[in-house]
Structures are given as C-alpha cells and as structure tokens.
Amino acid sequence: MKTIDELLAEGVSGKRVFVRADLNVPLADGQITDDGRIRAVLPTVEALTGAGAKVIVASHLGRPKGAPDPAFSLLPAAERLGELLGKPVAFAQDTVGPAAHAAVDGLEPGQVAVIENLRFNPGETSKDDAERATFADELAALADVYVGDGFGAVHRKHASVYDLPARLPHYAGYLIATEVGVLQKLTEEVQRPYAVVLGGAKVSDKLGVIDNLLEKADRILIGGGMVFTFLKAKGYEVGASMLQEDQIPVVQEYLKGAEEKGVEFVLPVDVVVSGGFPDLKAKEPTHPDTVPADAIPAGQMGLDIGPATAELYAAKLADARTIFWNGPMGVFEHPDYAGGTRAVAQALLDSPAFTVVGGGDSAAAVRLLGFDENAYGHISTGGGASLEYLEGKTLPGLAALED
C-alpha cells in the first residue's frame, strides 16, 4: 500500500487529486453536531494543498436512496471543512455532472473543492459491477490521482472506495495509514492483558467480532442494550429491556466458549432502569432506579450499567496493557444514563494501556461527555470498519489501495 508521503515525494503540484474522505457527520436541523470526521482528514488535505495539488474531496453522508435529497447534502460539511482549513472551499451541487466539472476546472494549485454526496448517484452503492464501474469511470475523469482516506467507508464495496482506485494511481492518506497501524496493534502486536469493552444496541452487530476476539482477548466486558441478551442467556429476567431472543443460543455458546478458552467474560452486577426510553431532546429528569442485574422488575427498561458495575469495569481495566472499546454502556445522550459510559471513558484514561476508542457512538460519547480525545491512544473514525477488521474480514477499500 503506497502512502501519501510517497505521492508527495513524487510531486503533486498542479495535479488533480481525488481524496475519498469520510465526511459522514451527524446533523441536527442542518447543523453539524460532531465534526470529528472532518478534522480527521485535515492532515491529508493540508499536505496536498501545501504541495500545490488541486484537491477534490468526496464523501457520502447518511443513506439517501440513490437520488439527490437536500437533507443529506454535503454542503454543511464543505463549509465546516473550509472553516477548519481557513480558506474558501468550492462546492459542486452534483457528483459527476457540469457543476462538478466546473468546480474542478476552476481550481488553482493549493485549492479545494467538495463534490456533492456520492450516494446521490445510484452507481456509488450498486451491487451491479457494471453500474458501479460506470460511475467510477465518471469520477476518474475528474482527477489524475486517488488518495483513499475515508476509513469509515473502507468496509463497503462502493464505487468511490473499491472501483475508483483501480482507475487511477492510488495512495493511502494519513488517516487510513494511522487506522491500519492501530488495528495491527490490536491483532498482531498485542500487549497483554488485552481487555475489550463492547456496548451498543444489538448483540447481532457484534457477534463476528466477539467470535474472533475469543481467540485474542484476555477479558471482554459487555454493556449497552446488547447486554440484556447476555443476561437473559444466563437465565435472568430483563423486564422491558432491549432483547434479541433469537440470539440467546448463540450468546450461550459464546459464554461457554469463553470459559473453555480461559477468556474472562464480565457482565453487569447492577443496572440503571426506568419505566420507558427517555426524551433525548428535552433531557428532562426521569427518576431512574438502580437494581441488581438479576432482578430487573417487569415493565422496567435497563438503560445503563449501574455504579457497582462501573466500579467493577474500572478495576478490570486498571491492569490492562491494551484496551479496545466499541459501543456506549448506556443511553449516554441523556444525563441520567451517561454514568456507565463516562466511567469507562475515565477508566481508559486512568489505565497505562494503549487505548483505542472504536469509532461511532463511542467516539461521539467521548466528545459529548467532555473528555480530551487527545489523551487516548487512538480514536477511530470508523466503528463498522474497525469491527470488520477485528473480525478478520478483508476490507474492500483497503484491498483496493494495495498493489
């Protein structure tokens, strides 16, 4: 995999460089609520513009249905990129049409243009190889060189991620090079004890990574909505909590397998519950209660790990030398249910371990709860991509950058 440093050494002055970024930022009423992914691509864009390249930044945002949708426009991300760069950024209101070509043709060396959401074109996400190839050909006409730096999308076999690199000289940007280096530390060069904290809503989203980590981790700590399927698998009643009944037999096999392999599986000893899901906009007090994990009352919904569990999890992380955390411990967006996620975030800071926060909601939680993100070993920009790498899968976007 060639890196951007090799590209810079070859010289890029005056060349049109297509940077596949991940600007898939969360929006509320058209406003960006977390610009972490935009900031993550800055080193690559600044290096290229500083070397005189004409930079075309492209990305997806959300899940539009293969057609333009104002709710998913990249314009807010383009404007924020310009603010962070401290220079104007041109914005094209299409992907490969007249506006995109005009924006690129108008670039002077050292300038940047952002083209509209790639997923506004059905060829970007098509499962039909020919349709994707046609779109990739159109994208390739905009540029001389390809730089892949959208780590959050490398697990997708999409035109701009997988097909386009084959059509242009291609290089890995700084973000992708960093992310891959970190993931190698979690799979090939692990310092032990190796502790993994997994949360989030659905256990089905994490089955593959749990399966693979049973061969690598020393202990696995479980929280979030997915934990109630684990508690049910142990025979506990979970009230009105989130539950994936169909996954209970699989979870029971994992618990059995962990015991056989000597991997410590740590589950909550107490849970914060309420009579219903909180209003995340109003964030009014909800009068939660804390109950033992094996005594959740009927009609009550578990929304966070309890304080005793938070203390237990901190102790289990204290002596670790490598920690990977993916998924919040509860509904961290509401102050009544942020305690568990806050405790895990703090425990990572207190540990001497190499710490990796695995993207998505975990990264958002670190920022929302006011932690210094630079104090962690690494905060990933791609939750899904990180998980699939840890599952041992081949990621199309990384394979496409290899020679």
Write the pLDDT tens digit of every residue in 68-127.
999 999 999 999 999 999 999 999 999 999 999 999 999 999 999 999 999 999 999 999
37 is catalytic: yes
Q: How confident is the model at residue 205 (pLDDT cuts 50, 70, 90)?
A: confident
Taking residues 163-174, report their average pLDDT.
98
Given this model, what pLDDT does residue 245 score? 95
Q: H helices of 58-163, where?
A: 75-85, 98-105, 129-140
Selection from 200, 193, 207 nearest residue 390 by Cα? 207
Say yes or no to pLDDT of 359 above 80.
no
Out of 15, 16, 37, 54, pick the active-site residue: 37
Predicted confidence at residue 74, as pLDDT, reads 97
Distance CA 226, CA 203 (A): 5
Query: What's the pTM value of the predicted model, to 2 decimals?
Result: 0.88
pLDDT for 360 beyond 80: no
Give the distance, in angstroms, between the CA of residue 17 and the centroid of all CA atoms in the same chain: 25
Residue 68's pLDDT is 95
Residue 384 to residue 153: CA distance in whole angstroms: 8
Q: Which amino acid is at 119?
A: R
Catalytic pick among 2, 202, 321, 393: 202
Which pLDDT value is given to residue 253?
94
What pLDDT score was predicted for residue 121?
98
Rounded to an integer, the average pLDDT of 120-146 is 98
Return the pLDDT at 100.
98
Q: Is 202 considered catalytic here?
A: yes
Average pLDDT over residues 8-23: 98
Provide mean pLDDT across the span 300-321. Answer: 97
Listed in sequence order, the residues at least 6 apart from 90 whose beta carbon sits closer than 8 Å to its beta carbon are 103, 106, 107, 111, 112, 113, 114
Strands 112-115 and 54-58, bridge-based pairing: parallel
Give the model's pLDDT for residue 162: 98
225 is known as an active-site residue:
no
Question: Is 384 one of the annotated active-site residues of the chain?
Answer: yes
Q: Which of 148, 150, 224, 360 is catalytic?
A: 360
> Contact 318/267 with Cβ under 8 angstroms?
no
Question: Residue 328: pLDDT above 90?
Answer: yes
Active-site hit among 173, 223, 302, 384 = 384
**In this predicted structure, what is the pLDDT of residue 95?**
97
**Strands laid side by side in the 270-274 sheet:** 289-292, 270-274, 301-305
Mean pLDDT of the residues in the chain: 95
